[in-house]
Amino acid sequence: METSKRYIDDLMTFMDKSVINFFAVKTMRERLDAEGYTCLDATAKWDVKPGGKYYVVKNHSAIFAFAVGVGGATAGYKIISAHSDSPCFRIKPNPEMVSGGMLKLNTEVYGGPILYTWFDRPLSIAGRVLLRGENPLHPKTRFIKIDRPLLTIPHLAIHFNRAVNDGNPLSRQKDMLPVIAKVNEAMEKDNFVLRLVATELGVEPDEIIDFDLSLFDTTPACLVGYRNEFITSGRLDDLSMAHAAMTALLESEDNAMTRVMAIFDNEETGSGTKQGAASPVLDHILRRVNVCLGGNEEDYLRAIAASFMVSADNAHAVHPNYVEKQDPTNHPVLGGGPVIKINANCKYMTDADSAAVFKTICDEAGVPCQYFVNHSDVAGGSTLGNILTSQIDLRGVDMGNALWAMHSVRETASVADHIFAILAFTRFYNC
Ligand code: ZN
């Protein structure tokens, strides 16, 4: 009971700190540092030892941690993958726009958010800022998270659109722009964001070369439900799975195989970046670990053949107002345990072999598990598993905990399921 409470308190703190991809990675880094993991520099020679614990960060937005097994170069890897990004709004360059006496910001939609959930929220800004450095190839990076509500996207009053509740198509360019200030005479509107960021960071505006800044909802995570059985927060997809993977990695013990946590970026836009699952980043890391263990190409391929991946990305729970949307016989419920994702057209990497592995692991962990299969008239989504198998010849399963309102600015999940996922992942790493 005590452990369960600790896991959930820790999840809520993690969610509140991890307001966008860069901060999810920063939060995980800090935790790994505190637990004795060594940060490896991709440009340096690695000295990785059996029993050692390491991590690598890519682009400040993807993180790969591994606890090296003691079974040698052919023992293989047990991998849990998830993603650091969530749908949001990204601030465009030169974003300042004045309209109706207000300063608003020009933004671009990242991924596929449910747009209208972003209206009338206390929003703020977070991201990374690149400052002039000694070497043009290596600008300095600073992170910024403004911890007070700073913007809002006000909805149009119903009096101007009586049909709003009958379906209301939204323009990403017109309807979704956030307001940051009332314009007054003393205010310099030019480079407002740049100067705001410079002040927050304590630097001169002309030191800033560029930025990746996004909006986030400042409302913290909380428990809801008669028995506090649900958790509601932004970005549960997929940071709840990233948190479960990290917790399991830290709770698990050394064994023959190397335990890997791989948190990629840009899943929401198709994974096609250097820090995404369609890149060779994980293959390169696993190869380098193998070389450090004395392996050659043959040993590496043997290790990969012996490996298994759990691709952890959230699934859809049956929604009490829309039960007809789900498959008639396979509809995961909140609180019913981790969900194995199945698709006949191979949108998911799961097959009977890999599902059997994961079901056995859940069984051994004393955790229930359930299936998600699309209603046959609904197209459904895809995730990391298959994309990764185009890079690495891996056996594995697509799974994830069930959610309501995936891609809403606030999603709802089950407290019990989060504990179940941590227990199942820990068992996987220890098996
Ligand atoms: Zn996801």
Report the alpha-carbon distance of residue 210 to residue 194 in Å, rounded: 9
Handedness of CA 235, 78, 282, 142 (dihedral sign): positive
Give the distance (Å) from ligand 1 centre to CA of residue 340.
14
CATH of the domain at 50: 3.40.630.10
Closest CA to 400 of 373, 372, 375, 380: 372
Q: Are residues 82 and 96 in the same domain?
A: no
Q: Beta-strand (E) ranges in 59-115?
A: 62-67, 77-83, 88-99, 102-110
Q: What is the pLDDT of residue 208?
A: 97
Q: Are residues 277 and 415 in the same domain?
A: yes
Closest CA to 309 of 352, 260, 266, 270: 260
**Does residue 268 belong to any structural domain of this protein?**
yes
Give the distance (Å) from ligand 1 centre to CA of residue 325.
19
Give the distance (Å) from ligand 1 centre to CA of residue 132.
34
Q: Are residues 272 and 373 in the same domain?
A: yes
**Does residue 229 belong to any structural domain of this protein?**
no
Give the distance (Å) from ligand 1 centre to CA of residue 289.
28
Give the distance (Å) from ligand 1 centre to CA of residue 396.
17
Q: Are residues 396 and 250 in the same domain?
A: yes
Q: What is the pLDDT of residue 383?
A: 80
**Does residue 71 belong to any structural domain of this protein?**
yes
Q: What is the pLDDT of residue 346?
A: 84
* pTM exceeds 0.75, yes or no: yes
CATH of the domain at 144: 2.30.250.10
**Does residue 224 belong to any structural domain of this protein?**
no
Q: What is the pLDDT of residue 273?
A: 95
Give the distance (Å) from ligand 1 centre to CA of residue 383.
7
Q: What is the pLDDT of residue 10?
A: 97
**Does residue 227 belong to any structural domain of this protein?**
no
Q: Are residues 285 and 425 in the same domain?
A: yes
Q: Are residues 243 and 359 in the same domain?
A: yes
Q: Which residues of the chain have pLDDT under 50?
A: none
Domain boundary among 163, 185, 217: 217
Domain boundary among 168, 183, 217: 217
Q: What is the pLDDT of residue 380?
A: 75
Q: Are residues 293 and 207 in the same domain?
A: no
Give the distance (Å) from ligand 1 centre to CA of residue 422.
17
Question: What digits encode the pLDDT tens for the residues 80-114?
Answer: 999 999 999 999 999 999 999 999 999 999 999 99
Domain count along the chain: 2
Give the distance (Å) from ligand 1 centre to CA of residue 165.
29
Domain with 126, as residue range(s), is 88-217
Alpha carbon 342 to chain centroid, angstroms: 21
Q: Are residues 31 and 128 in the same domain?
A: no
Q: How far is CA 353 from CA 184, 232, 388, in A?
A: 65, 34, 18
Helix H or strand E segment including 247: helix 236-251
**Does residue 103 belong to any structural domain of this protein?**
yes
Alpha carbon 407 to chain centroid, angstroms: 12
Count other Cβ atoms within 10 Å, centred on residue 404.
21
Give the distance (Å) from ligand 1 centre to CA of residue 313.
5
Give the distance (Å) from ligand 1 centre to CA of residue 314.
6
Q: Are residues 73 and 196 in the same domain?
A: no
Domain boundary among 188, 217, 246: 217
Q: Are residues 385 and 302 in the same domain?
A: yes
Give the distance (Å) from ligand 1 centre to CA of residue 341.
13
Q: What is the DSSP letter of 160?
A: G
**Does residue 226 belong to any structural domain of this protein?**
no
Say whether 117 sits in a helix, a strand or coil.
helix
Give the distance (Å) from ligand 1 centre to CA of residue 268.
7
Q: Are residues 278 and 177 in the same domain?
A: no
Q: Are residues 245 and 370 in the same domain?
A: yes
